[in-house]
Amino acid sequence: MPPYKLYCFGESGNAYKVALYLETNAISWEPVFVDFFNGETKTAAYRETVNVMGEAPVLVCGDQKHTQSGAILTFLANMHKKHDGKSPEEQQEILRWILFDNHKLTSPIATLRFMVTLKKMPESDVTEHLRGRATAALAILDAQLAKHPFVIGPRLSIADYSLCGYLFYGDELPFDMGKYKNIKSWLDRIRDLPRWKHPYDLMPRSKAS
Ligand SMILES: N[C@@H](CCC(=O)N[C@@H](CS)C(=O)NCC(=O)O)C(=O)O
């Protein structure tokens, strides 16, 4: 089977969720750089030929294109039988946490990091609101990880790949991660996976960010 192609860029935690899954499971893949900071995802060409939603990541598998990191992870987990739900109950639990990640965790964290760290926008009511949303979601994740080593139990699943996507950007996160002790230990466990790499070592980085 030819390697998967992944439309991605180093600053994208959403793309990292998929890149990390592929890399740590030794699944052959190659990056296709998306020039997000110069507006590539907003172009008609990108929307017509790559993703109607105007987003990265996009996974190319033969003549199929998959989008939405949670859907891509689900596709890969089913295809490779790695870190998938082993029962309908586990599958449901994984879906629940991926939806929580997309809506409550990744969404405010990615937006806040984009505004404050990458675009150097001044602090405002908006950034304070996003910080409140992000830290509330982090507290929920931390409490979940007090119960078992990974999000849905003792075993790593694609829910972990989804939820950790933005949390390896360290100093770029404009809030204090220090108080989330269970998240810290969980990230250490993920960092210990064979072939783990930081996002900037896994995907091509934008020059303009
Ligand atoms: N829910 C989507 C979010 C994807 C997303 O927001 N990607 C960003 C990069 S991290 C993007 O391409 N944004 C383009 C835009 O909003 O114009 C996923 O999980 O794949």
Tell me the per-residue pLDDT of 12-51, one tens digit each, with 9 for 90 and over. 999 999 999 999 999 999 999 999 999 999 999 999 999 9
**CA geometry: angle at 58 spanning 41 and 183, to 5°?**
100
Residue type, 32: V
Residue type, 142: D
**Residue 54 bridge partners (DSSP):** none
| Residue with CA at minimum distance from ligand 1 atom 13 | 55
User: 106 and 113 in contact (C-beta within 8 Å)?
Assistant: no
User: 148 and 154 in contact (C-beta within 8 Å)?
Assistant: yes
User: 22 and 171 in contact (C-beta within 8 Å)?
Assistant: no
Give the pLDDT score at 173. Answer: 97
Residue with tokens 């405002």: 124
DSSP line for 60-109? EETTEEEESHHHHHHHHHHHHTSS--SSHHHHHHHHHHHHHIIIIIIHHH
Residue to mutate (ligand 1; options 55, 100, 172; most atoms within 8 A of CB): 55
DSSP H stretches of helix in 25-68:
44-49
The two beta strands, 29-33 and 4-8, are parallel
> Residue 209 above 70 pLDDT?
no
Confidence of residue 82 (pLDDT cuts 50, 70, 90): very high
Q: What six digits make up the tokens of 115?
A: 């505004």
| CA-15 nearest atom, ligand 1 | 10
**Residue 114 bridge partners (DSSP):** none
Is the Cβ atom of 68 under 6 angstroms away from ligand 1? yes
Give the pLDDT score at 72. Answer: 98
Is the Cβ atom of 149 under 6 angstroms away from ligand 1? no
Give the pLDDT score at 1. Answer: 75
Q: What six digits make up the tokens of 158?
A: 């694609």
Average pLDDT, the chain: 97
Is the Cβ atom of 55 under 6 angstroms away from ligand 1? yes
> Residue 135 above 70 pLDDT?
yes
Give the pLDDT score at 2. Answer: 74
Using DSSP, state whether 22 is helix, strand or coil: helix
| 40-68 residue pLDDT tens | 999 999 999 999 999 999 999 999 999 99
| 88-133 residue pLDDT tens | 999 999 999 999 999 999 999 999 999 999 999 999 999 999 999 9
Return the DSSP state at 154. S
Provide the whole-model pTM: 0.97
Give the pLDDT score at 208. Answer: 55
